Amino acid sequence: MQQSQWSSRLGYILAAAGSAVGLGAIWKFPYVTAANGGGAFLLVFLLFSFTLGVAVLMGETLLGSLSRRGVVGAMASLAGPRWRWLGAMGLLCSLLIFCFYSVVGGWTLGYTAMALSGSLNSGDGAALTARFNDYVADPFWPLLSHLAFAALAWCCVQGGVQKGVERTLRWMMPSLLVMMLLLAAVGLTLPGAMAGVRHFLLPDFDKLGMEGVLDAMGLAFFSLSIGLGIHTTYGAYLSDSEGVGRSSLWVVLLASLIAVLAGLMIFPVLAATGIDPTAGPGLTFMTMPAVFQQLPFGQGLASLFFALLVVAALSSAISLLEHLQCFVSESWGWRRRSSCTLIIALVMAGGIPVSLSFGPWSGVTLFGKNIFELLDFVTSNLMMPLFGLGLTLLLGWRLGRAILPKGLGQPWQALLLGGWRWLAPLLIGGILIRGLV
């Protein structure tokens, strides 16, 4: 692993941004924004992204660039073996997330196939909602698409850092950005589109509240893939730690741009199609097919859109797999292909009960949550905040100035240390409490 490196700083930025720019930016950000005051939520989200997000992302990356190790090895070598448990928790959380994320990624594959076949050719929002609910409850097709999606991730990562991960994301990210720009531009031409834009951009602070602020904090933090140790793994492939601050800023900028574009792509069509903007995670699957029915070559555009949703999902899945296989290769000395195969086998097996939890196993619940909801709750509300809290305490109090990059000015050092020691633990602690009560 120590010999693996990105071919360029741009390759690293695109890969790190790809980790952050997953389905969450497209399918979660719009409906959470709609439920929390539109532009008010957006402002808070961007504020936390460019302060807390940049600081913690930079610190997580520095762990890898200075140690040239994955998250467990980095924490052990820089802070002592007692910190290995924190890296191990990040790895376990990544594996659990991968199990249900692969199921959702499989949905994008299934919807791509349905768009190609023409079975999504409906402008009726209620019909599209029913179509989505019927699809995820099916015991066979979502399961098959989950296995296919996991296999796609294996194909992208087993080739190596440069020839696998970097080469794939170099065309994935620009393609996704171009398509989103095109769809946003088309959506703005629909009747009533500007009402949706106003809903998205105009702040309504009466609807925000403290709960909305905490949601914006959590989304800004975790939408950057902070809280898992992925950026430590990616940082280990950098040739040095110089420029980590600028690179982190670029990653946050690209991730925020995608989130804003997702809002401009989704909100303008809500008024035109009559679909509830707070409809939940299925919003993208229920909204976009209705859009394409109002456009020339709608079926082709729908097929391309859902194919690019596959790209967005796959970009995050690649980072999860690379993160996990790095640990296996580093700890046990396995070849990359064998490490990837082991992880994907675990993900395929773990995703089966997750997929069935919407259909035959929907009655299997714990604390009122099905298997999918339980994994999502445990990872998002408990494990990721705990890892993030431990990470900031490690950065601010255990390592401190020793990990700061050379050449960083004194004012920036003070701001970064203050963020690690005080602001980040306080805010992440608030996210943790918010998620548990």
Residues 6+ apart with CB under 8 A from 211: 36, 434
Please state the rounded mean pLDDT for residues 39-66: 92
Q: Please state, in angstroms and rounded to a whole number, the distance separating the CA atoms of residues 46 and 253.
A: 9
The pLDDT value given to residue 102 = 96
d(CA 39, CA 267): 12
pLDDT of residue 322: 94
Residues 15-47 have pLDDT tens digits of: 888 888 777 777 778 878 888 888 899 999 999
43-64: average pLDDT:
92
Angle between helices 9-20 and 298-332 (to 10 degrees): 110
Q: Residue 133 and residue 19: Cα distance in Å, rounded?
A: 28
- Rounded CA-CA distance 13/38 in Å is 29
pLDDT in tens, 146-157: 999 999 999 999
Q: What percent of the chain has a predicted confidence (pLDDT) above 70?
A: 95
pLDDT for residue 280 is more than 70: no
Model pLDDT, residue 1:
45
- Give the residue, 195 or 328, on which the prediction is more confident: 328
Compute the half-sphere exposure of residue 276: CA atoms within 13 Å on the CB side of its CA: 9
Q: Which of 112-116, 128-132, 271-275, 400-404 has the lowest mean pLDDT?
A: 271-275
Tallying the residues shown for the chain, one arrives at 437
- Amino acid type, 281: P
User: What pLDDT score was predicted for residue 59?
Assistant: 93
Measured in Å, how far apart are the chain's first and last C-alpha atoms? 41
Question: Token pair for residue 130?
Answer: 């029913």
What is the pLDDT confidence band of residue 123, given thresholds at 50, 70 and 90?
A: low
**Nearest C-alpha neighbor of 56 from the set 429, 382, 417:** 417
What pLDDT digit, counting tens, does each position of 173-213 carry? Answer: 888 888 888 888 877 887 888 888 888 888 888 888 888 88
Rounded to the nearest integer, the mean pLDDT of the chain is: 87
CB 232 within 8 A of CB 397: no
Q: How far apart are CA 265 and CA 368, in angstroms?
A: 34
Confidence (pLDDT) at 155: 92
The answer on pLDDT for 365 being more than 60 is: yes
Q: Is the confidence at residue 233, as pLDDT, over 90?
A: yes
